[in-house]
Chain A
């Protein structure tokens, strides 16, 4: 029932926004909405490793960029089938390429998930600041590789000429918006399922005390690898449609600081122990940044993030969800009968023990 409500709510909210933006007839809403949805996916993905397991990842931009560049590579491959494939294969490849966006998302997710798995494997003995530094190093290494990989444009970047229209919807940006909307629901559903499962409890024990978790039979290494893989895959999936959104991709924008900072700040501000936290944080910060971009300048975006982050760390270190949780817990029951607060707390998986 709760899962049904979640999916119904997600489809209704997304559908209403889509219908409203179409009614207004302003494509900018889709451009801005795409960015906010992209941050929902990134923040949710970061939170699976950073919030649930307590492993802070500073390399979100790298996973995002792997997804983006996997799309660029496949796009380039499609453009030069005759050059890159022998004649016998070229015919088949022309039938397969260019790939559609959902397929690119899956491929980006697989590529980034594998990088996540590898990162997890190489850094499995690291914790705290050391793990964070290792993920930062990963971003630097991958950016260097991309800068020196001519096929995807190297340091000069690559142009992606996207189709101007798609059947039924018409505008391509509306199509991209819908794709990212579905991806956001997939990311949130993944986080929600994990949270309420055996895996989620295992992640929580890793966050709280890894030694005690092992003593309780939790295979911490395997769980950490699962977390890095899922988190990396979702970040890559968020990045895969990005070249088609932006039209021109260069390493500086794909590995941008904004992705690394936002994917940490959004769950921190929203709250890290529930799937609701990254959603709230991304909606709040993402919308604020879009408004600031239009009304002031895009240069103030990171300033807004920084100020809000400092404010929340001081005033509400548990994030917005943490504040609400405390409010819920105060009167979570009325003589044993569930109240609207306790129902809401259960829906958002705000466990009594959660931070």
Chain B
């Protein structure tokens, strides 16, 4: 088996006396589509924050692309090829859509290619990204002029801008209609087909089942299941966690 792209071992995080994550082990292979589910407060976003460097884990290690990333700041992990979208869209609200997409190109793209993009290359890449998510006609608009689904698409496009190896989409579909959810799932699958490994955190089970090749379930900060989606959703502990014992 190839070396995993992301390898989390015995990861733990506490907030004061509250144990948010305990002994989490997770491996994600290159090109894989992984769904991460769990009830509210189960620790999904905390796990994402620990993996991306927004929070520092107290125990355990995170290895990315064969190297440990413990102690690295979020921007350094982003330079290594880790990208994320946020549960609530966090666009740079004083910058236009095109400028929002330009930020990762300015600050991350050169770290792996070894050179800064020229103005023309940067503009072309922004145009390509905006086109990919259907935001080309609104490239010069401010985020406040976008609809909710467009804001989510901007969030994903911005995460994609610097050609990451791993994309973590944190509840990218929350609050969207069924058609919009289908749109985002199709977009994520399209991105995965370009060779990007994706971890999707989601509550909408239909979307999770349509997207995931593997499903990981967290409950109360612990991993209770990890495997093919059809098997995992039939797991008694998972059913118990979602429907009650």
| Co-complex (A, B) | yes
Could you list which residues of chain A lie within 8 angstroms of chain B, going by C-beta atoms? 198, 201-202, 204-205, 207-209, 211-221, 273, 351-355
Whether A353 pairs with B99 at a CB distance below 8 angstroms is: yes
**Interface assignment of B142: CB less than 8 Å from any CB of chain A:** yes
Inter-chain contact B99/A215, CB cutoff 8 Å: no
When distances are taken between beta carbons in the complex, the residues of chain B under 8 Å from A219 are 73, 75, 107
Residue on B with the closest CB to A355? B94
Residues of chain B within 8 A of A213, CB atoms compared: 75, 92, 103
Q: Does B104 contact A (CB under 8 A)?
A: yes
Q: A212-B86, A219-B75, A273-B94 are known contacts. Are A201 and B142 too (CB-CB below 8 A)?
A: no
Whether B95 and A208, one on each chain, are in contact in the complex, defined by CB atoms closer than 8 angstroms, is yes
Report the Cα distance A351→B74, complex, angstroms: 28
Contacts A205-B103, A217-B107, A217-B111; A212 near B91 (Cβ below 8 A): yes
Contact of B107 among A218, A221, A352 (CB under 8 A): A218
Tell me whether A212 and B75 are in contact (CB under 8 A): no
Q: Fill in one digit per residue for B58-92: 1 if any A CB lies within 8 Å of its CB, else 0.
A: 00000000000000011100110001101000111
Our pick among A202, A208, A211, A355 for the contact of B54 (Cβ within 8 Å) is: A211
Interface core residue of A208, A209, A213 (most chain B CB under 10 Å): A208
Q: How far is the CA of A201 from the CA of B96 in the complex (A)?
A: 11
Residues of A within 8 A of B142 (CB): 352-353
CA distance A276 to B94 in the complex (A): 17
B219 within 8 Å of A by Cβ?
no
Nearest Cβ distance between residue A273 and chain B, in whole angstroms?
7
Q: How far is the CA of A273 from the CA of B54 in the complex (A)?
A: 28
Residues of chain A with a CB closer than 8 A to B94's CB: 204, 207-208, 273, 353-355
A-B contact pairs, 18 of them (CB 8 A): A198-B107, A201-B106, A205-B95, A209-B90, A214-B73, A215-B54, A215-B75, A215-B78, A216-B104, A216-B107, A216-B108, A216-B161, A217-B111, A219-B107, A351-B96, A352-B140, A352-B142, A353-B95
Which A residues are in CB contact (< 8 Å) with B95?
201, 204-205, 208, 351, 353
Q: Are A202 and B84 in contact (CB under 8 A)?
A: no
Asked if A217 meets B78 with Cβ closer than 8 Å, knowing A202-B107, A212-B91, the reply is: yes
- Bound Cα distance A297, B52 (Å): 58
B74 pairs with A215, CB closer than 8 A:
yes
CA distance A353 to B101 in the complex (A): 13
Let me know if B86 and A208 touch, CB within 8 A: no
Residue among B52, B53, B75 making CB contact with A218, cutoff 8 Å: B75
Q: Which residue of B lies closest to A217 (CB)?
A: B108
Q: Which residues of B contact A (CB under 8 A)?
A: 52-54, 73-75, 78-79, 83-84, 86, 90-96, 99, 102-104, 106-108, 111, 140, 142, 158-159, 161-162
Q: Please pick, from B75, B83, B96, the residue contacting A353 in the complex, using a CB distance under 8 A.
A: B96
> Closest CB of chain A to B232's CB: distance in Å?
28
The smallest C-beta distance from A220 to any residue of chain B, in angstroms, reads 7
**Smallest CB–CB gap between A26 and chain B, Å?**
44
Known interface pairs A217-B79, A352-B96; A212-B90 also in contact (CB < 8 Å): yes
Beyond the given A205-B92, A208-B92, please list 8 additional residue pairs across the A-B interface where CB-CB is below 8 A. A202-B106, A209-B90, A214-B75, A215-B86, A218-B75, A219-B107, A221-B73, A351-B95
Chain A residue at minimal CB-CB distance from B83 = A215
Q: Which residues of B sit under 8 angstroms from A202, Cβ to Cβ?
A: 103, 106-107
What is the chain B residue whose CB lies nearest that of A273?
Answer: B94
**B54, closest chain A residue (CB):** A211
Residue from A204, A209, A215 in contact with B84 in the complex, judged by beta carbons closer than 8 Å:
A215
**Is A217 a contact of B91 with CB atoms below 8 Å?**
no
Q: Complex Cα distance A211/B90, Å?
A: 9
Distance A216 CA – B159 CA, assembled complex (angstroms) = 7
Cα–Cα distance between A218 and B102 once the two chains are bound (Å):
12
Query: What B residues does A205 contact at CB under 8 A?
Result: 92, 95, 103
Contact at A220–B92, with CB atoms within 8 Å?
Answer: no
Which residues of A have CB within 8 Å of B111? 217
Q: Which residue of A lies closest to B74 (CB)?
A: A214
B92 touches A204 (CB 8 A): yes
Decide if A201 touches B103 in the complex (CB within 8 Å). yes
> Which B residues are in CB contact (< 8 Å) with A217?
75, 78-79, 103-104, 107-108, 111, 162
Q: In whole angstroms, what is the CA distance A111 to B95 when docked?
A: 34
Measured between C-beta atoms, what is the minimum distance from A257 to chain B in Å? 30
Q: Are A218 and B103 in contact (CB under 8 A)?
A: yes
Alpha-carbon distance A145/B140, docked complex (angstroms) = 51
Q: For the complex, what is the distance from the CA of A351 to the CA of B108, rounded to whole Å?
A: 22
Name the residue on B nearest A218 (C-beta): B107
Given A211-B54, A351-B99, A352-B140, also A198-B106 (CB < 8 A): yes
Give 4 closest A-B pairs by Cβ, nearest first. A217-B108, A214-B74, A212-B90, A217-B107
Is the CB–CB distance between B99 and A216 below 8 Å?
A: no
Give complex CA distance A353, B102 in Å: 13
- CB-CB nearest in chain B for A219: B75
Bound CA span A208–B100, Å: 11
Q: How far is the CB of A36 from chain B (nearest CB, A)?
A: 29
Contacts of A355 in B (CB 8 A): 94
Question: Which residues of B lie under 8 Å from residue A354 when comparing CB positions?
Answer: 94
A201 to B106, CA, bound (A): 9
- Cα distance A198–B99 in the bound complex, in angstroms: 11
Q: Evaluate contact between B73 and A216: CB separation under 8 angstroms.
A: no
Distance between Cα atoms of A211 and B88 in the complex (Å): 12
- Closest chain B CB from A183 CB (angstroms): 29
